[in-house]
A and B are shown apart, each in its own frame.
Chain A
Amino acid sequence: MAIRATSLHVQLASLADATRSSDLVLLIGAVLGLFLFVHLALDLFVLRRRRRKRESLAQENRMAAAADLSAALARARGGEEVGRVLLDTLNELIGTDHSGLMLIDEGGTEARGLIARSDGADLDWYSAARIDLISEVSGVRCAYETRTLFFVENALDSSEVNAKLIERAGLKSVAFIPLESERRMIGVVSIGSTTGFLSFTPEQLALMNMLAAEGTLALERTYSLAALERALERERLVSEISRRVRSESDVDRLIEVALAETAEALGASRCFLRLGDPETPAPLRLEWRQEGLDPIPADATPYLSVSNLALRQGRTAAVTDVETSPELADESLGGREALLVLGSRAVLSAPIVLFGAVIGVLAVHAPAVRDWSNDDIAFIEAVAREFGIALYSANLLEENQQRLTQQEGLLAATEAMAGELELDSMLTRRLAGGRADLFRALSTRDVLAESVSQAIALLDADAALLLELEGSELVAHEGSSYGLGEMQGTRFPAAISVAGDLVYSRRPLVIGDLSLQERLETLDPIVREGFQALLGVPLIGSDDSLEGVLLVYSHAARAWRAKETEALVSLAANTAAALANAVLYLRVSFEREQSIAILSSVADGIVAVDREGKIVLWNAAVERSTGISSDEALGRTSVEVLRQELDSGAEQGETSISIKRGGRELWLEVTEATMRDPADQIAGKIYTLRDVSTDRFVEQAKSDFVSSVSHELRAPLTSIYGFAETLLRRGELFDETQRQTFLSYIASESERLTGIVDALLDVAELDSGDLQVELGQTDVAHIVREVVEVARQGESGSNGHEFVIDLGADESLGAEADRDKLRRVLVNLIDNAIKFSPDGGKVTVAGKKRPGVVELRVVDEGVGIPEEERERIFRKFYRGSPSVLRGGTGLGLFISRGLVTAMGGRIWVDSVEGEGSSFVLELVSSEAKGGEE
């Protein structure tokens, strides 16, 4: 079959890709083959069964007997009953007059008589019969050890049977039948004849075996049932202890009962509880003992070695025999003697563990050697657990009780009736729970809705309505009703209706049965809706003014209790306070929003800090000037955010601080003011930050400008004044040539002075927009030659630069320009070129025509201008970095750009750093101009 199955499996596997018809044919063949095989196998099986049945026909009687026994055993309750049924059946079917059943303990050391039947009666002595399976010779032992039926025809002569028992039973022939369950040998049945010698046929022996098997099953069932029942009983006991633990407030009484029950359940002579940690000889808390025993002396605890062991190890200690247990060999536990003196031979002890810590120990003592079962151990551990819980909850209960007593002391004193007390505490609880929710509601609508829903929950009412007093009317607002349909906007005249009564009396209105009050029914539209009971209370505001009414309705007539009225009054008071709170919140939040809106919109930066210096406000202007968002700033201190303390330490004042933004220095002018709370404590500080970086930059630039203008003016003045003084020296010290040189210096330096003054005037004009240009056709080439010539003459001595004019093929370059202004621009550019190139360097002035424009370039061989400087150099007051600084007002390029722009042209710089600069000047070509006209 295996082979076939495999081949089929192969075929099936190939089915997956069996797309060809040949595969399909193979597959069908395989399936047919399998079918035939299975059919054949079934036939064979049935035949074999039939044969077997035929062979065992002789046994059918036995089987029937076994079935009968099985039925009878199923009805039997308890081991003895089972044994009786089994033994009687055996006696009857085998034809014997004596049979007995011995049970074997789990360890296989002893067989105990359970029941014996002789002539239809129990043998009384048999249940006390014991056979030592280790040392005594017996048929039982033999059957037990061989696990097979064992037959002795002449029992009196046999050395394999227990002579005493045989003699006592008066047996002549005997058979021993082992009762073997799946797990173990549970017992041995002996069956025999007291009247004559018997020889059992194989048929009889087979029957015995069969019946014994039935008996074994029944016995095992019985004993497992018993075990189950015992376990259940113990469960019940534990749960009973557990229940008491949770209900009994007198913990000593509880322990006492629990100890007694534990002792009883375990068949112990003593049971006690010690409390304390393993480090101390935990003192005895309570002990239960059998009558007639002496109590354990208080000073004996160090010698209670088994419970000491359990304490020390934190786990259950089970000692079968105090005298021999190796566990007690450790003298530090307290030895064996004290236990033996107490009359205890076996001890079982479990620690009481609470939250991982050993807090005590529970122990039971037994007067005789005892092998504690797993059930016993599980039981004592369960009890110990419950003790732990009991002790813990007893403590809690005690604390809780104290607290409750304190809280409810006054209340309880005035309340006599238990029912009232309960109602009151329920109402109090509901009120207290709801109060927080009421105050959590931040809009009046939410407060109203919360209030009516709480009123319903508080009094289990069917409907609730909260009306606010507005003038002479009571008005229902959004959310202020429950269970009454849409009420929003409904107005009731305060003069009439039920609610009106409240307005005037300002006292609770309690109506248990409206049908008795016809007047109200006609007056109140809500009452007409079919409510039978009503409870209404006024809503009194903080200034003792009436703000509205709170009403609850019930469909059924209802006797409102005083406590309920009080509770509703409290709810109304809470509601009034919560409403005031919501209004206040609204106002405060509005004011807050308003303040924030104002503060965010002001142009100056505003920063507010709380008393701890934590930033609570960081407006948009500060965000803009510092580049730090309010998210980053809020909740931190200014030092953390700006790396700078804003607080000057003074109550108020002005300071300047500088902070870094990126690589740039930012100057902020800080004005501070202290905010104080109503108790005159500092509540925080508020700072206005004004970004004065630009102002400061301009200030600095102006100051630098004044200083450089002063220097620029002083230089030519020095020459003019100096040479004048020199010429005025007494005596003929200088020849004519020298005097001419001095005078020419005086002249040229005066010109220089004029140039500086002109430049200053240009700036003033550019600044004020008064600059006038007179545009006209200008020969740029001519002006270039003129200016370069002057420069060449001006250069002398060691400074000498080389000047190159490159005007290409065009001898004239016509542009629309102001002749004078263009000259000034060129002078400026060439001066710069000289200033920023090394001595002897080449300065090239190139000009050419391009479509529509005339382009001039002034090229030097200086250090060049870094990319980032190329726009900045055209700014007012800008001067090169100190390494290339050589005086100057910082106005040249600013003026040049101004002039060129005024002439309709452009000026910029091309430069390669380190390879010199090329200033490019673009003017409108006069041809283009002419073309336009």
Chain B
Amino acid sequence: MTRVLIIDDEAPIRLLCRVNLEAEGMEVSEAADGANGIEIARREQPDVILLDVMMPRLDGWEVADALLRDERTNEIPIIFLTARAEIRDRARGLDIGGVEYITKPFNPLELAPLIEALIERISQGDRDELRGEKLAELRALTRE
């Protein structure tokens, strides 16, 4: 069973993700702030983390950085979930080491398939390739 950790300061968003992912048979845990999220990630070793960027105190960038730096959590793929839609933010997310970037608002029904596909590819060892693809996409966008 796929285990997903949602780190977001907004309760409705956490609930939204939880119900939709659980509907697809995933196991979901929540954290309302970054510090709590890092702690849970270390403890529970989720398969994937959905990470909000704009949070008080520790923001998403800092949380991602801390997770990727910690060998207990640096293998867990991070999907940024944020209202920040600018290309430079997306680039930053990937640059830090995230593998996917979902812009709010998003269709919650697509969340689970996206996570599945991601985990599938990563299990095949394509993690860096995946990031490379995303960066290439971004570059293409930037050029436009």
Q: What is A's interface to B at a CB cutoff of 8 Å?
A: 707, 710-711, 714-715, 717-723, 725-726, 729, 733-734, 738, 741-742, 745, 749, 796-799, 835, 839, 882-887
Contact = CB atoms under 8 A, between A and B. Distances in A.
Interface string B34-57: 000000000000000000001111
Nearest to B110: A725
Contacts of B84: 707, 711
B86 interface: yes
B25 to A, nearest CB: 11
A799 B36 CA distance: 13
28 contacts: A710-B85, A715-B10, A715-B83, A718-B12, A718-B13, A718-B83, A719-B10, A719-B13, A719-B16, A720-B105, A721-B105, A722-B13, A722-B20, A722-B106, A723-B16, A726-B19, A726-B20, A733-B23, A742-B19, A745-B12, A796-B11, A797-B11, A797-B32, A798-B32, A882-B59, A884-B57, A885-B59, A886-B55
Contacts, number: 84
B27 interface: no
Interface in B83-119: 83-86, 103-109
Interface string B5-37: 000011111011001100100000000110000
Contacts of B108: 722, 725-726
A749 B109 contact: no
A719 B33 CA distance: 18
A65 B108 CA distance: 155
Contacts of B104: 714-715, 717-718
Contact of A710 (B9, B16, B56, B83): B83
A318 B53 CA distance: 105
A839 B9 CA distance: 11
A887 to B, nearest CB: 5
Contacts of A884: 56-57
A703 to B, nearest CB: 10
**Chain B interface SS verdict (over half):** loop
Q: Chain B CB within 10 Å — which of A718, A733, A887 has the most?
A: A718
Given A719-B12, A835-B56, A884-B56, A725 B23 contact: no
A738 B12 CA distance: 12
B54 A887 contact: yes
Contact of B19 (A711, A719, A738): A738
A882 B107 CA distance: 29
A886 B83 contact: no
A733 B20 CA distance: 9
Which 7 pairs across A and B sit closest by C-beta, in order of nearness?
A714-B83, A886-B56, A718-B105, A711-B83, A718-B104, A719-B12, A722-B16
A714 B20 contact: no
Interface of B: 9-13, 15-16, 19-20, 23, 32-33, 54-57, 59, 83-86, 103-109
Given A719-B16, A797-B32, A883-B57, A714 B85 contact: yes
Given A714-B103, A729-B23, 8 more contacts: A711-B83, A718-B13, A719-B10, A719-B12, A738-B19, A835-B56, A839-B33, A886-B55
Contacts of B20: 722, 726, 729
A722 B105 contact: yes
Contact of A714 (B19, B23, B55, B105): B105
A797 B12 CA distance: 11
A886 to B, nearest CB: 4
Nearest to A880: B56
A718 B109 CA distance: 13
Nearest to A712: B83
Nearest to A796: B11
A797 B85 CA distance: 28
A308 B35 CA distance: 100
Contact of A725 (B33, B54, B55, B107): B107
Given A714-B85, A886-B9, A745 B15 contact: yes
B86 A707 contact: yes
A835 B54 CA distance: 13
A725 B20 CA distance: 10
Q: Chain A CB within 10 Å — which of B9, B83, B103, B108 has the most?
A: B83
Contact of A726 (B16, B57, B86): B16
A725 B56 contact: no
Nearest to A723: B16
Contacts of B32: 797-799, 839
Contacts of A721: 105, 107
Q: Chain B CB within 10 Å — which of A720, A725, A733 has the most?
A: A725
A797 B8 CA distance: 13
A711 B103 CA distance: 10
Nearest to A795: B11
B129 to A, nearest CB: 30
A885 B56 contact: yes
A718 B15 contact: no
A799 B12 CA distance: 13
Contacts of B11: 796-797, 799
Contact of B105 (A717, A742, A887): A717
B22 to A, nearest CB: 9
Contacts of B106: 718, 722
Q: Chain B CB within 10 Å — which of A722, A745, A882 has the most?
A: A722
A737 to B, nearest CB: 12
Contacts of A714: 83, 85, 103-105
B39 to A, nearest CB: 13
B126 to A, nearest CB: 29
Q: Chain A CB within 10 Å — which of B23, B54, B57 has the most?
A: B54
A795 to B, nearest CB: 10
A796 B32 CA distance: 12
